[in-house]
Amino acid sequence: MTTKRIIVGYDRSTEASAAVSWALDEAARTGAPVEFFYAWDWPTWAPAASMIPAPAVWPDGEMERSLRGGLDEAVSAAKLSHPGVRTTISIVHAPAALTLIDRSAEASAIVLGSRGHHAIAALGSLTVAVSAHAHCPVVVVRGAPAPAAPVVVGVDDSDCARLALEFAIAQAAGRDVPLRVIRGGTFAAGLVEERPSVAEQIIQQQSDAVRELLNEWHQKYPDVQATATYLAEHPADALTEASAGAQLVVVGSRGRGALRGMLLGSVSQHLLHRSPCTVAVVREISQA
């Protein structure tokens, strides 16, 4: 069991409520407390309609009370649905992304909704920045997969991929579901047609490498039914396709930053925008 908290962004939206449910279920399995988090990411200046820059008007007391009332309601509902989970509320007047990145060093996971109208739930610069720089796994919740659906993880030769595998196999074990380990890669144009034996050899070598990586964790999680597959296609496409039948897809992040992370070549950001199921991006794993 872990004592590090799970931080979940909550803004009363449907997507944020789904994130809360995921976080509470995870907390019930791991023993972690859950922090309901909201950030007033207020603009520096008043609306552009004014020709003269002026300080923005900060939320008044009534807005503050309304927000806290919504968070209190969420906590009350959590105590009914998950009575064994400890919960707290956190409201900050600071940029959401920077605050979450800072707090991630003391968290076991950050959980966000896939969309929304406020800073926490919006899939955009916040999710990109936090997933690229957080010191713990970042989970973006979406879809409603079957409880028995597998966990899928994408791997390559990087250290962050090994961390992603560690997180994924623990998730599969905790949920008592199968694990699918996938490695993707494309061939040079014409290789399959002109030299099929070479292509077949590459596939075999890559498949063996994935199985060897998986075997490193078999002793710690002997009850997890795991399969390892190499697919001759772009990793983003392979994982997006596999996510259609999964409850969670896990991928590593090299932490290249919010701007570069938004490029289409980024597997993690591709999944965050296209996966039909919940996505976990793992750059680091906080130690309990």
Each residue's pLDDT tens digit, 48-90 = 544 555 555 555 677 778 888 889 999 999 999 999 999 999 9
Return the pLDDT at 119.
Answer: 41
DSSP state of 104: G
4-18, 42-56, 247-261: the lowest-pLDDT one: 42-56
Using a 10 angstrom Cβ sphere, with 0-12 exposed, 13-18 middle and 19 or more buried, the burial of residue 5 is buried
* 287 confidence band (pLDDT: 50, 70, 90): low
Q: Is the pLDDT of residue 44 over 90?
A: no
* 268 confidence band (pLDDT: 50, 70, 90): confident
Q: Mean pLDDT, to the nearest integer, of 104-115? A: 91
Nearest to 239 by CA among 163, 161, 183, 157: 183
Return the pLDDT at 195.
Answer: 55
Residues of the chain with CATH 3.40.50.12370: 151-282
DSSP state of 55: B
C-alpha distance from residue 54 to each of 44, 46, 49, 97 (Å): 9, 6, 11, 24
Work out the angle at residue 178's Cα, subtended by the Cα atoms of residues 174 and 184, and round it to the nearest 5 degrees.
Answer: 115
| Under 8 Å between Cβ of 121 and 115 | yes
What 3-state class would DSSP assign to 50? coil
Question: CA–CA separation, 248 vs 244, rounded Å?
Answer: 10
Nearest to 271 by CA among 245, 287, 254, 249: 249
Question: CA–CA separation, 238 vs 21, rounded Å?
Answer: 28
* 42 confidence band (pLDDT: 50, 70, 90): low
Residue 222 burial (CB count, 10 A):
8
Return the pLDDT at 46.
Answer: 47
Per CATH, domain 5-141 is 3.40.50.620: yes
Return the pLDDT at 179.
Answer: 96
152-161, 169-178, 208-217: the lowest-pLDDT one: 208-217
Work out the angle at residue 226's Cα, subtended by the Cα atoms of residues 223 and 227, and round it to the nearest 5 degrees.
Answer: 160
Residues of the chain with CATH 3.40.50.620: 5-141
C-alpha distance from residue 266 to each of 51, 124, 154, 190 (Å): 40, 14, 13, 25
Question: CA–CA separation, 103 vs 82, rounded Å?
Answer: 24
Q: Is the pLDDT of residue 93 over 50?
A: yes
Q: Is the pLDDT of residue 101 over 90?
A: yes
Return the pLDDT at 59.
Answer: 58
Among residues of the chain, what percentage have pLDDT more than 70? Answer: 76
Please give the residue that has the higher pLDDT: either 38 or 50: 38
Q: Is the pLDDT of residue 263 over 70?
A: no
| 138-141/278-282 β-pairing | antiparallel
Q: Which CATH number fits domain 151-282: 3.40.50.300, 3.40.640.10, 3.90.1150.10, 3.40.50.12370?
A: 3.40.50.12370
* 102 confidence band (pLDDT: 50, 70, 90): very high
Question: CA–CA separation, 160 vs 166, rounded Å?
Answer: 10
Nearest to 26 by CA among 185, 156, 137: 137
Average pLDDT value over all residues in the chain: 81
What is the reported pTM?
0.84
Residue at token pair 């009370």: 65
Return the pLDDT at 149.
Answer: 97
